[in-house]
Structure 1
Amino acid sequence: MAGVPGTTVMDLIDSLARQDAIRFVSTRHEQVAGFLADGYSRSRRGLGVCLASRGPGAANLAIAVHNAYDESVPLLVLIGQVPSDVVERRAFEEMDVLATFRPMTKWAVEVHQVARIPELLQRAVRVAQSGRPGPVVVSLPLNVLQGVADGAPARRYRPHPPGPAPAAISEAWSVMESAERPAILLGGGAAGDHRVGRGAAGDHDAFLALAETMAAPLLTTWLRQGLVPHGHPAYLGALGYGAHEVSERVIAEADVLLAIGCRFSEFTTKRWTLIAPETRLVHVDIDPMELGRVYVPEVGIVSDARLAAAALLGSAPTADRSARQARLDKLRAQFEQAVHTVQDAPGTGVGSGAAVHVLRTLVERDDIVLVQDAPSFGPWTARHLPLPRPGTFFGSAGGAMAWGLPAGMGIALARPGLRVVTVSGDGSFWMVAQDFETCVRERIPLVNVVMNNFAYGNTRDRQRFAHEGRYLGVFYGNPDFAAFARDLGGFGRRVEREEDLGPAVEEALAQPLPAIIDVVQDPMAGLPPGLMPPAAR
């Protein structure tokens, strides 16, 4: 559990201090606590929990809650509220917690009786993790937290995810077998549920086997390229900002698209222009409200992603798919050539292409997890970073800057046997840099690679292309991040030459302290050559 101490949660924190089963991590900002819990949940080692006091504390937490809701990440959010006997009197820091958080949560509830805490908390956990996952907020008035419970444990159960209707599977095959140019698109819903023990290395096998059976290219949605191993001959990349032309062409030319666990977001679909109107859609999602929300499917299947894939495999018809396979082999060759053709942009300092080459050596190691923040460096990894194994890459598609460092902390806490490396832009990193001290204090050996171009790179590039280079508010000064790390008791290295980056990262990984690698880039360093930012709309 992560959070910031505050008046209305002190009794809860005191209870945590009198036990040793739950670890409490005190962060320097509530936003960090929320992102840390987000990372813990994404690791699929358990449910991330965060807490904050009412008013400003809860408001600070809202960014992380909104991001988790947008990305379907389960969170249990506990918020201390003013006592019930003064509510609606504009008490100090009073906030209408339920009204604030209802639009960005699966459920928001306030507990008014101590006896109902076990009942409502177990329900909150179930709601957060069931169906389409998401955050749940529980508001706890101070008088409730100061009450005495009888200690009776809550009754718990874990619902089984729904499987597909047999008739829907039959209908899906009738559509898919008619295709000449089929494609499979995996979204975040294909990442599996969030139960302890799930999400292991073999969880992707059903999707790969389905692609092999269909002789169809398999792609992922934006920043979900960690779902499958990139070495598989059916893999054709991730869509979204920085996607290769061949990846987008596969979807644009598809006569049948099997979409599993995806919501057709703006970036994945190039603002809903990538999928042709005549494409026949088979859409699998655990949330029935998602089917037809953007594109009306010919066949809609309400199901857990893996159960649907297994059912489709189990009833696959025998057919000659040699023509499809020949086409897939040609597309795969084009994709591989694009991935390995890395052209760095001119400029001073460390080029982004050189950084990608260093990251390639890292992801080959079976003890490394890579966390991608939301910088303009992201399209480089999307284009040129092959991932040999699933579950070793995490990226935030919700748009919130500053996610990387705290999410990496949560993943590192959930996976203590692995080393977590985050890649952040300097703008994102400096928003939450104060919690590098939390990494030192809590002995979280996170390695933070900061791509430091002294600019809000995404906004700078938009001003460059859409506003004739009239730059305002996008360039700034930075401290020496490596010295900052050392001042807080961590490890720090400043890198200004490309040949020094690999050794600096290896040195950081070889020691036990949290680390910052300050990668100094040209102030105009940003997108891969030839890539333009999406137009503002």
Structure 2
Amino acid sequence: MAASRSGAEILVDALVTNGLTTAFGVPGESYLAVLEAMRARAFDFVVCRQEGGAAMAADAFGKLTGKPGLCFATRGPGATNAASGVHVASQDSTPLILFVGQVERGFRHREAFQEIDLAALFGAMAKWVVEIDDPARIPELVARAIRVACQGRPGPVVIGLPEDMLAESADVADAAPVTPAETWPGLADIAQLQKLLWAAERPVALVGGGRWSEAATLRLARFAERFALPVAVTFRRQMLFSADHRCYAGDLGIAPNPKLLERIGDADLVLLIGGRLGEIPSQSYGLFGVPTPGRRLVHVHADAEELGRVYQPALAIHASPAAFAAALEAVQPPQTLTWEAGTATARADYLSWSGVVPAHPGAVQMGEVVAALNALPVDAIVTNGAGNYSSWFHRFQRVRTYGSQLAPISGSMGYGLPAAIAAKRRFSDREVVALAGDGCFLMTGQELATAVQYDLPVIALVFDNGQYGTIRMHQERAFPGLPFGTALRNPDFAAYARAFGAEGFSVTERGAFAPAFAAARACGRPAVIHVTLDPEAITPTTTIAQIRAAASKSRVSSS
């Protein structure tokens, strides 16, 4: 007979049984019993300063581990704040579980203090929303939540925890640890894939999505090597294929290499592994026809619901990327690889596109920053949120190792710093650098206090051009010369960092970034480097003035 435990104790034991021993959150009176159970079990609860940052940190933890990242929030305001991170996990296919303390069971449906309908709030974002009414069912429902979060297309699960349920006792045994199922491709699928590859003249592989592992990426690299197959990654998935590999052809992000787009457009076989080809990698759904792609498409995905959802493939393979990558070991290349020269050209096109960072207006040059990041150890983890500043790094940074990149496919601002905190908490021996724009950083900048509190020496690079740059860019295209609502008056970010107890550095001149970065890496404390950029330096290839001029010319021509 199982010993009697409170619901909170049963919950924490269920997490520990599954190897889930780190969570991020903001404390709330609705789940104080859980905090006590964590304290008694030496559980690693990282106290954050806002639930949005906590949920983003949990998302990053899930990306790094392949297991559900955990976030705890209180009802009402806590749950709504955490929604931003739940949306990231949904669009990014990240396993995540958000636990929300709820009102007492007897108070529900009266609009009690901070009461909120979790199913109504999260139903369109989460894979599953459930409220646990009986502590005896916690092992069952937590096990199911882990499986739902991880299997198929990974994503977020939201669990409501009524305050009185957590204090109630039950005699129930822990459930066995969950091992998420891998969906393997059938022999007929692999045989058909080999036939299609043998018949192809201009094949290309596209890689993205979740459910990957380091071993899977290495197997994919061996497959590409044997077939001399050009491989491109989808938006913010560079860590899935080394930029140093001879078959790497670049990434399908925002403003990708035109030659890569041309190559994919000319391909007679496209092998899409793990990804969905959403709006950004598909270039606003223009790269392929919908629903008929216009060429042979082999789509491999862990969730059957994603196969044929937008594009109707010539071959749909229901398999997780890890299982499919293992099955690729059995696929044999044709005796003659007719496309090998094309792969070498694709590689040369990538190296030319990403080789030299062009100069741009202003004293501080982004080329200095890119060079410093590319000199980091190969296992260093670089994170970022959203903003035009990231376009330099997606194009010019060499991502070479699985687990070294954390960035939101959803394009959420504020992701970089919480993700860096999660990465450093998970891998204390690896260097972690967060990239953020001025607007991006202040979405979650208060989490610098979390880094200081837990002695996590992350480095945040804040690129300050005094504006919401991406929005200003689109504004100039739509309304040239009429900026409104996009200017920012920013603090001294170095002084801001010092106020938290972190180190702060300012970079305003050419040549000043490298010594500031070296000092930040050597200081052994959280650090912020405030990098002042010219507001005209909006992308690697265009300025605000050029965008405005082109938009104005277009308007004149159309009229």
* RMSD between aligned residues: 1.8
Answering whether residue 546 of structure 2 is matched by residue 525 of structure 1, we say no
Q: The residue matched to 1:522 in structure 2 has which SS?
A: coil
Aligned to 1:275: 288
Question: What is the match of residue 465 of structure 2?
Answer: 453
- Structure 1 stretch displaced more, 310-319 or 99-108: 310-319
Aligned residue number for residue 17 of structure 1:
39
The answer to whether the aligner puts 1:38 opposite 2:50 as a matched pair is no
TM-score by length of 1: 0.94
| Equivalent residue for 1:410, pick from 422, 427, 434 | 422
Identity of paired residues, percent?
A: 36
Q: Secondary structure at the match of 2:270?
A: strand
Alignment of 1:53 onto 2:74:
yes
* Whole-angstrom distance in 2 between the partners of 1:188 and 1:313: 21
Which of 481, 491, 496 matches 1:484? 496
CA displacement at 1:398 relative to structure 2: 0.7
Q: CA deviation at 1:307?
A: 2.2
Matched, 1:304 2:320: yes
Count of paired positions = 521
Which residue pairs with 2:24 in the alignment?
2
Equivalent residues in 2 for 1:474-513, closer than 5 Å: 474-513=486-525
Deviations 1:497-534 (A, max 9, x none): 1311111111111122111000011123221114979x
Letter in 2 for 1:14: E
Which of 338, 345, 355 is equivalent to 2:360?
345
Deviates more, 1:56-65 or 1:247-256: 247-256
Partner-residue secondary structure (3-state), 2:439: helix
- 1:389/1:157 Cα in 2 relative to 1: closer, same or farther (>3 Å)? closer
Listed as ranges, the matches of 1:161-176 within 5 Å are 161-176=182-197
CA distance in 1, matches of 2:497, 2:333: 59
Report how far residue 465 of structure 1 moved. Answer: 2.1
1:329 pairs with 2:344: yes
Once the two structures are superposed, residues 95-116 of structure 1 have per-residue CA deviations (whole angstroms, 9 ceiling, x without a partner) of 1112211211111111011111
AA paired with 1:318? P
Shift of 1:317: 4.6
Which letter maps to 2:30? T
Match 2:441 to one of 419, 429, 449: 429
Instruction: Compare 304-313 and 487-496 and name the one that shifted more.
Output: 304-313
Secondary structure of the equivalent of 1:396?
coil
1:357 aligns with 2:371: yes
The aligned counterpart of 1:229 is 242
Q: Provide the C-alpha distance between the structure 2 equivalents of 1:148 and 1:469, rounded to a whole number of angstroms.
A: 66
Aligned-partner SS, 2:369: helix
Q: CA deviation at 1:355?
A: 2.0
Q: CA deviation at 1:435?
A: 1.5
Using the TM superposition, name which of 24-33 and 312-321 deviates more: 312-321
Please tell me whether residue 390 in structure 1 is matched to residue 402 in structure 2: yes
CA-CA distance at 1:117 after TM superposition: 1.2
In the other structure, the counterpart of 1:156 is 177
Partner of residue 153 from structure 2, selected from 116, 132, 156? 132
Kept in 2, the 8 Å contact 1:162–1:302? The answer is yes
Counterpart-to-counterpart distance in 2, 1:513 and 1:309 = 40
Cα displacement (A) at 1:46: 4.2
Q: Is the 8 A contact 1:221 1:240 kept in 2?
A: yes
The alignment partner of 1:80 has SS state of strand
Q: Deviations over 1:111-150 (max 9, x none)?
A: 0111111211121112112221111111011110121233
Tell whether 2:478 aligns with 1:466.
Answer: yes
How many angstroms apart in 2 are the aligned matches of 1:414 and 1:59?
Answer: 26
Quick one: which of 366, 373, 377 aligns to 2:385?
A: 373
Match of 1:195 in 2: none
- Secondary structure, counterpart of 1:434 in structure 2: helix
| Contact 2:126 2:156 survives alignment (8 Å) | yes
- Cα distance in structure 2, aligned partners of 1:480 and 1:520: 10
Distance apart, 1:160 and its partner CA: 3.3
Q: Closer, same or farther in 2 for the Cα pair 1:45/1:273, shift >3 Å?
A: closer
Query: Quick one: distance in 1 between partners of 2:331 and 2:365?
Result: 49
Structure 1 residue 153: Cα displacement: 1.9
Whole-Å separation in 1 of the counterparts to 2:183 and 2:101 = 35
1:393 and 1:367 map into 2 onto residues whose CA distance is 10
Q: In the aligned structure 2, how far is the partner of 1:102 from the partner of 1:123?
A: 17
Alignment correspondent of 2:308: 292
Worse-superposed segment, 30-39 or 116-125 = 116-125
Query: TM-score with structure 2 length normalisation?
Result: 0.90
Q: 1:314 maps to which residue? A: 330
User: Matched residues in 1 for 2:444 and 2:363: separation?
Assistant: 24
Three-state SS of the structure 2 residue aligned to 1:50 is strand
Q: Specify whether residues 444 and 151 from structure 1 end up closer, same or farther in structure 2 by C-alpha distance, changes over 3 A only.
A: farther
Note closer, same or farther for the CA distance 1:157–1:488 as it changes in structure 2 (3 Å cut): closer
Distance 1:367 1:305, change over 3 A: closer
Match of 1:108 in 2: 129
CA distance in 2: counterparts of 1:467 and 1:313, whole angstroms: 53
**1:138-183 deviations in whole A, cap 9, x for unaligned?**
1011110121233632222313301101111112222222111100
Helix, strand or coil at the partner of 1:499: coil
| Match of residue 203 from structure 1 | 216
Unaligned runs of 5+ in 1: 193-198
